[in-house]
Amino acid sequence: MKKISVFDTTVSDYNHGNQIIMDNAYKHLYELFPNDFFFKLPYMEITNHTVEYIKMNDLIFFGGTNSLTSRMEKYKQWGLSLRNCRNIKNVILMGMGWWQYQTEQTSLYTKFLLHRVLSRKFIHAVRDSYTEKKLSEIGFNNVVNTGCPTLWNLTAEHCRSIKQEKSQDALVTFTDYNQNLKRDKKIFDIIKRNYTNIYVWIQGAGDFDYINNNFRDKIEFIEPNLNSYDKALSSLDIDYIGTRLHAGIRALQHKKRTIIIGIDNRAIEMAKDFNLQVLPEDKIESLDELINSNFETKINLPVENIKKWKIQFKEGIK
Protein backbone atom coordinates (compact mmCIF):
# COMPACT_ATOMS: atom_id res chain seq x y z
CA MET A 1 0.00 0.00 0.00
CA LYS A 2 1.41 3.37 -1.03
CA LYS A 3 1.03 6.53 1.01
CA ILE A 4 -0.09 9.45 -1.14
CA SER A 5 -0.21 13.11 -0.11
CA VAL A 6 -2.27 15.79 -1.82
CA PHE A 7 -1.74 19.52 -1.36
CA ASP A 8 -5.38 20.39 -0.71
CA THR A 9 -6.59 23.91 -1.53
CA THR A 10 -9.75 23.52 0.56
CA VAL A 11 -7.67 23.77 3.75
CA SER A 12 -7.91 27.29 5.24
CA ASP A 13 -9.74 28.68 2.22
CA TYR A 14 -12.89 30.77 1.76
CA ASN A 15 -13.63 29.75 -1.85
CA HIS A 16 -15.91 26.80 -2.54
CA GLY A 17 -14.47 26.70 -6.05
CA ASN A 18 -11.52 24.88 -4.56
CA GLN A 19 -13.92 22.27 -3.16
CA ILE A 20 -15.17 21.71 -6.70
CA ILE A 21 -11.60 21.30 -7.96
CA MET A 22 -10.47 19.00 -5.18
CA ASP A 23 -13.63 16.89 -5.34
CA ASN A 24 -12.78 16.10 -8.96
CA ALA A 25 -9.06 15.66 -8.30
CA TYR A 26 -9.72 13.07 -5.60
CA LYS A 27 -12.20 11.18 -7.80
CA HIS A 28 -9.55 10.69 -10.47
CA LEU A 29 -6.82 9.88 -7.95
CA TYR A 30 -8.99 7.31 -6.17
CA GLU A 31 -9.59 5.62 -9.55
CA LEU A 32 -5.84 5.53 -10.20
CA PHE A 33 -4.90 4.35 -6.70
CA PRO A 34 -7.93 2.48 -5.27
CA ASN A 35 -5.99 0.51 -2.67
CA ASP A 36 -3.67 3.21 -1.40
CA PHE A 37 -3.78 5.56 1.57
CA PHE A 38 -4.40 9.30 0.98
CA PHE A 39 -3.97 12.27 3.13
CA LYS A 40 -4.41 16.00 2.84
CA LEU A 41 -1.67 18.59 3.14
CA PRO A 42 -2.21 22.32 3.63
CA TYR A 43 -0.96 24.12 0.55
CA MET A 44 -0.16 27.43 2.24
CA GLU A 45 0.83 26.68 5.85
CA ILE A 46 3.72 24.31 5.16
CA THR A 47 5.18 23.87 8.64
CA ASN A 48 7.93 21.56 9.93
CA HIS A 49 5.15 19.22 11.02
CA THR A 50 3.77 19.20 7.45
CA VAL A 51 7.22 18.46 6.04
CA GLU A 52 7.60 15.45 8.32
CA TYR A 53 4.46 13.96 6.82
CA ILE A 54 5.63 14.79 3.30
CA LYS A 55 8.82 12.78 3.87
CA MET A 56 6.79 9.66 4.62
CA ASN A 57 4.87 9.61 1.34
CA ASP A 58 5.48 7.71 -1.88
CA LEU A 59 3.71 10.23 -4.11
CA ILE A 60 2.71 13.88 -3.70
CA PHE A 61 0.14 15.62 -5.92
CA PHE A 62 -0.92 19.24 -6.28
CA GLY A 63 -3.80 19.94 -8.58
CA GLY A 64 -6.18 22.17 -10.33
CA THR A 65 -5.59 25.65 -8.95
CA ASN A 66 -3.63 28.74 -9.98
CA SER A 67 -0.71 28.49 -7.57
CA LEU A 68 2.11 28.98 -10.08
CA THR A 69 3.39 32.51 -10.58
CA SER A 70 6.33 34.28 -12.21
CA ARG A 71 7.50 35.64 -8.87
CA MET A 72 6.75 33.29 -6.03
CA GLU A 73 8.71 35.52 -3.66
CA LYS A 74 6.05 38.23 -4.21
CA TYR A 75 2.78 36.47 -5.07
CA LYS A 76 2.15 33.90 -2.36
CA GLN A 77 -0.11 31.34 -4.03
CA TRP A 78 1.73 28.33 -2.62
CA GLY A 79 3.46 28.20 0.77
CA LEU A 80 6.89 27.19 -0.52
CA SER A 81 9.98 28.91 0.82
CA LEU A 82 13.73 28.52 0.59
CA ARG A 83 13.60 26.94 4.03
CA ASN A 84 10.89 24.31 3.59
CA CYS A 85 11.62 23.43 -0.05
CA ARG A 86 14.78 21.56 1.03
CA ASN A 87 12.56 18.73 2.25
CA ILE A 88 9.90 18.78 -0.49
CA LYS A 89 10.56 17.02 -3.76
CA ASN A 90 8.91 15.07 -6.57
CA VAL A 91 5.58 16.94 -6.41
CA ILE A 92 3.39 16.03 -9.40
CA LEU A 93 1.11 18.69 -10.89
CA MET A 94 -2.46 17.72 -11.71
CA GLY A 95 -4.14 20.34 -13.89
CA MET A 96 -2.26 23.23 -12.30
CA GLY A 97 -2.58 26.79 -13.65
CA TRP A 98 -0.66 30.07 -13.72
CA TRP A 99 -1.85 32.95 -11.57
CA GLN A 100 -3.07 35.70 -13.92
CA TYR A 101 -1.36 36.94 -17.06
CA GLN A 102 2.21 37.93 -16.12
CA THR A 103 4.49 39.64 -18.62
CA GLU A 104 7.48 39.69 -16.26
CA GLN A 105 10.12 37.02 -16.65
CA THR A 106 10.02 34.17 -14.18
CA SER A 107 12.38 35.03 -11.33
CA LEU A 108 15.45 33.01 -10.37
CA TYR A 109 13.81 32.46 -6.97
CA THR A 110 10.78 30.87 -8.62
CA LYS A 111 12.90 28.75 -10.96
CA PHE A 112 14.91 27.47 -8.02
CA LEU A 113 11.83 26.56 -5.98
CA LEU A 114 10.04 24.80 -8.83
CA HIS A 115 13.09 22.87 -9.98
CA ARG A 116 13.66 21.85 -6.37
CA VAL A 117 10.17 20.56 -5.62
CA LEU A 118 8.62 19.39 -8.92
CA SER A 119 9.14 15.87 -10.21
CA ARG A 120 11.52 15.32 -13.12
CA LYS A 121 10.46 11.68 -13.44
CA PHE A 122 6.70 12.07 -13.90
CA ILE A 123 4.79 14.09 -16.47
CA HIS A 124 2.97 17.11 -15.07
CA ALA A 125 -0.59 17.97 -16.10
CA VAL A 126 -1.38 21.68 -16.47
CA ARG A 127 -4.61 23.62 -16.89
CA ASP A 128 -3.98 25.43 -20.17
CA SER A 129 -1.47 26.24 -22.93
CA TYR A 130 -0.40 29.44 -21.18
CA THR A 131 0.79 27.47 -18.13
CA GLU A 132 2.45 24.87 -20.33
CA LYS A 133 4.39 27.63 -22.10
CA LYS A 134 5.43 29.27 -18.82
CA LEU A 135 6.84 26.01 -17.46
CA SER A 136 8.54 25.19 -20.76
CA GLU A 137 10.30 28.56 -20.68
CA ILE A 138 12.04 27.61 -17.42
CA GLY A 139 13.08 24.15 -18.52
CA PHE A 140 10.18 21.81 -17.80
CA ASN A 141 9.60 19.64 -20.84
CA ASN A 142 7.73 16.90 -18.97
CA VAL A 143 4.40 18.76 -19.18
CA VAL A 144 1.10 18.10 -20.97
CA ASN A 145 -1.96 20.33 -21.22
CA THR A 146 -4.91 18.37 -19.81
CA GLY A 147 -7.14 21.17 -18.59
CA CYS A 148 -8.42 21.27 -15.03
CA PRO A 149 -9.51 17.89 -13.56
CA THR A 150 -13.02 19.36 -13.38
CA LEU A 151 -13.18 19.01 -17.19
CA TRP A 152 -11.95 15.45 -17.49
CA ASN A 153 -15.38 13.80 -17.44
CA LEU A 154 -17.04 16.29 -19.80
CA THR A 155 -16.91 13.81 -22.65
CA ALA A 156 -18.61 14.19 -26.03
CA GLU A 157 -21.38 11.86 -24.86
CA HIS A 158 -21.90 13.91 -21.68
CA CYS A 159 -22.00 17.19 -23.59
CA ARG A 160 -24.56 15.88 -26.10
CA SER A 161 -27.00 15.46 -23.22
CA ILE A 162 -26.87 19.18 -22.33
CA LYS A 163 -29.81 20.96 -23.87
CA GLN A 164 -29.23 23.71 -26.41
CA GLU A 165 -32.29 25.90 -25.85
CA LYS A 166 -32.89 28.49 -23.12
CA SER A 167 -34.35 27.41 -19.76
CA GLN A 168 -37.07 29.22 -17.86
CA ASP A 169 -34.93 30.13 -14.85
CA ALA A 170 -31.29 31.12 -14.25
CA LEU A 171 -28.66 30.33 -11.63
CA VAL A 172 -26.22 33.19 -11.20
CA THR A 173 -22.87 33.83 -9.51
CA PHE A 174 -20.70 36.91 -9.03
CA THR A 175 -17.13 37.18 -7.72
CA ASP A 176 -16.24 38.95 -4.49
CA TYR A 177 -12.57 39.57 -5.34
CA ASN A 178 -13.27 40.91 -8.85
CA GLN A 179 -16.08 43.39 -8.34
CA ASN A 180 -17.12 45.64 -11.20
CA LEU A 181 -20.53 47.05 -10.35
CA LYS A 182 -21.17 48.57 -13.78
CA ARG A 183 -20.35 45.28 -15.52
CA ASP A 184 -22.21 43.10 -13.03
CA LYS A 185 -25.35 45.28 -13.04
CA LYS A 186 -25.43 45.03 -16.81
CA ILE A 187 -25.18 41.23 -16.56
CA PHE A 188 -27.91 41.11 -13.92
CA ASP A 189 -30.27 43.40 -15.86
CA ILE A 190 -29.97 41.19 -18.95
CA ILE A 191 -30.66 38.08 -16.86
CA LYS A 192 -33.71 39.71 -15.23
CA ARG A 193 -35.20 40.48 -18.64
CA ASN A 194 -34.82 36.93 -19.85
CA TYR A 195 -35.66 34.62 -16.93
CA THR A 196 -38.66 34.08 -14.66
CA ASN A 197 -36.77 33.14 -11.48
CA ILE A 198 -33.16 33.90 -10.55
CA TYR A 199 -31.24 31.73 -8.10
CA VAL A 200 -27.90 32.85 -6.66
CA TRP A 201 -25.15 30.69 -5.20
CA ILE A 202 -22.46 32.02 -2.86
CA GLN A 203 -19.12 30.51 -3.89
CA GLY A 204 -16.84 32.90 -1.98
CA ALA A 205 -17.25 34.25 1.54
CA GLY A 206 -17.54 37.84 0.30
CA ASP A 207 -20.07 37.13 -2.44
CA PHE A 208 -23.15 37.47 -0.22
CA ASP A 209 -22.58 41.05 0.90
CA TYR A 210 -21.72 42.19 -2.61
CA ILE A 211 -24.81 40.55 -4.14
CA ASN A 212 -27.21 41.34 -1.30
CA ASN A 213 -26.23 45.01 -1.33
CA ASN A 214 -26.52 45.46 -5.08
CA PHE A 215 -28.78 42.79 -6.63
CA ARG A 216 -31.56 42.11 -4.13
CA ASP A 217 -34.41 42.31 -6.64
CA LYS A 218 -36.01 39.03 -7.76
CA ILE A 219 -33.39 36.62 -6.42
CA GLU A 220 -33.44 33.53 -4.24
CA PHE A 221 -30.26 32.45 -2.47
CA ILE A 222 -29.10 28.84 -2.47
CA GLU A 223 -27.39 27.80 0.77
CA PRO A 224 -23.65 28.56 0.53
CA ASN A 225 -22.27 25.03 0.46
CA LEU A 226 -21.40 22.63 -2.31
CA ASN A 227 -23.98 20.02 -1.29
CA SER A 228 -26.83 22.54 -1.63
CA TYR A 229 -25.45 23.77 -4.94
CA ASP A 230 -25.38 20.22 -6.29
CA LYS A 231 -28.98 19.65 -5.14
CA ALA A 232 -30.10 22.83 -6.89
CA LEU A 233 -28.32 21.86 -10.10
CA SER A 234 -29.93 18.42 -9.95
CA SER A 235 -33.47 19.60 -9.28
CA LEU A 236 -33.96 22.94 -11.03
CA ASP A 237 -34.59 23.65 -14.70
CA ILE A 238 -32.00 26.41 -15.04
CA ASP A 239 -29.27 27.94 -17.16
CA TYR A 240 -26.04 28.84 -15.37
CA ILE A 241 -24.73 32.36 -16.03
CA GLY A 242 -21.95 33.83 -13.91
CA THR A 243 -18.42 35.05 -13.39
CA ARG A 244 -17.44 32.03 -11.27
CA LEU A 245 -15.55 29.61 -13.54
CA HIS A 246 -15.77 26.46 -11.44
CA ALA A 247 -19.39 27.01 -10.46
CA GLY A 248 -19.99 27.04 -14.22
CA ILE A 249 -18.02 23.85 -14.77
CA ARG A 250 -19.96 22.20 -11.93
CA ALA A 251 -23.16 23.19 -13.75
CA LEU A 252 -21.84 21.50 -16.90
CA GLN A 253 -21.14 18.37 -14.86
CA HIS A 254 -24.84 18.43 -13.94
CA LYS A 255 -25.74 18.84 -17.64
CA LYS A 256 -26.88 22.45 -17.35
CA ARG A 257 -26.64 24.93 -20.22
CA THR A 258 -23.82 27.22 -19.15
CA ILE A 259 -22.49 30.68 -20.01
CA ILE A 260 -19.38 31.68 -18.09
CA ILE A 261 -18.48 35.39 -18.06
CA GLY A 262 -14.71 35.56 -18.59
CA ILE A 263 -13.18 37.99 -16.10
CA ASP A 264 -9.68 36.52 -15.79
CA ASN A 265 -7.06 34.41 -17.56
CA ARG A 266 -8.40 31.09 -16.27
CA ALA A 267 -11.71 31.22 -18.12
CA ILE A 268 -10.26 32.94 -21.20
CA GLU A 269 -7.42 30.43 -21.62
CA MET A 270 -9.63 27.41 -21.00
CA ALA A 271 -12.11 28.73 -23.56
CA LYS A 272 -9.30 28.99 -26.13
CA ASP A 273 -8.00 25.50 -25.44
CA PHE A 274 -11.17 23.53 -24.74
CA ASN A 275 -14.09 25.48 -26.27
CA LEU A 276 -15.82 26.33 -22.99
CA GLN A 277 -18.75 28.70 -23.57
CA VAL A 278 -17.08 31.82 -22.20
CA LEU A 279 -18.26 35.34 -22.97
CA PRO A 280 -15.45 37.87 -22.37
CA GLU A 281 -16.43 40.70 -20.06
CA ASP A 282 -15.88 43.29 -22.81
CA LYS A 283 -18.63 41.62 -24.87
CA ILE A 284 -21.43 41.70 -22.28
CA GLU A 285 -23.68 43.44 -24.81
CA SER A 286 -23.83 40.10 -26.65
CA LEU A 287 -25.20 38.25 -23.60
CA ASP A 288 -28.86 38.87 -24.46
CA GLU A 289 -28.41 37.42 -27.93
CA LEU A 290 -26.45 34.44 -26.61
CA ILE A 291 -29.10 33.65 -23.98
CA ASN A 292 -31.82 33.62 -26.63
CA SER A 293 -29.91 31.51 -29.13
CA ASN A 294 -29.58 27.76 -29.25
CA PHE A 295 -26.01 26.61 -28.81
CA GLU A 296 -24.28 23.26 -28.53
CA THR A 297 -21.97 22.46 -25.63
CA LYS A 298 -18.95 20.82 -27.20
CA ILE A 299 -15.85 20.60 -25.00
CA ASN A 300 -12.67 19.82 -26.90
CA LEU A 301 -11.36 17.45 -24.28
CA PRO A 302 -7.62 16.65 -24.58
CA VAL A 303 -8.29 12.94 -24.23
CA GLU A 304 -4.84 11.73 -25.29
CA ASN A 305 -3.04 14.09 -22.90
CA ILE A 306 -5.24 13.04 -19.98
CA LYS A 307 -4.63 9.39 -20.85
CA LYS A 308 -0.87 10.02 -21.13
CA TRP A 309 -0.78 11.62 -17.70
CA LYS A 310 -2.82 8.86 -16.06
CA ILE A 311 -1.17 5.85 -17.66
CA GLN A 312 2.30 6.78 -16.42
CA PHE A 313 1.28 5.75 -12.90
CA LYS A 314 0.36 2.27 -14.03
CA GLU A 315 3.60 1.95 -15.99
CA GLY A 316 6.00 3.91 -13.79
CA ILE A 317 5.28 2.75 -10.24
CA LYS A 318 6.35 -0.58 -8.84
How many percent of the chain have pLDDT more than 90? 87
Q: What would the pLDDT profile of 262-310 be if each residue is shown by its tens digit?
A: 999 899 999 999 999 999 999 999 999 999 999 999 999 999 999 999 9
Strands 278-280 and 59-63: unpaired
Distances from the Cα of 177 to the Cα of 42, 209, 307, angstroms: 22, 12, 35
Residue ranges matching CATH 3.40.50.2000 in the chain: 156-291
pLDDT band of residue 149 (cuts 50, 70, 90) is very high
The predicted-structure confidence for 83-101, as pLDDT tens digits, reads as follows 999 889 999 999 999 998 8
- Average pLDDT score, the chain: 95
pLDDT tens digits, one per residue of 233-249: 999 999 999 999 999 99
Residue 203 to residues 1, 119, 153, 243: CA-CA distances in angstroms? 36, 32, 22, 11
CATH number of 156-291: 3.40.50.2000
What is the CATH architecture of 3-152+302-316? 3-Layer(aba) Sandwich (3.40)
Residue 172 backbone dihedrals phi, psi, to 5 degrees: -125, 145
Q: Average pLDDT for residues 12-31, to the nearest whole number? A: 94
pLDDT band at 317 (very low <50, low <70, confident <90, very high): low
Q: What is the value of pTM for the model shown?
A: 0.95
Q: Which residues pair with 118 in a beta bridge?
A: 91
Whether the per-residue pLDDT at 316 is higher than 70: the answer is no
Distances (CA, A) of 115 to 75, 111, 135: 18, 6, 10
What pLDDT does residue 315 have?
67
Check residue 5 and give its pLDDT.
Answer: 95
Q: What is the pLDDT of residues 178-200, one digit of tens each?
A: 999 999 999 999 999 999 999 99
What own/partner pairs with CB < 8 Å and gap ≥ 24 does 259-262 have?
259/287, 259/290, 259/291, 261/187, 261/287
The pLDDT confidence band at residue 318, using thresholds 50, 70 and 90, is very low
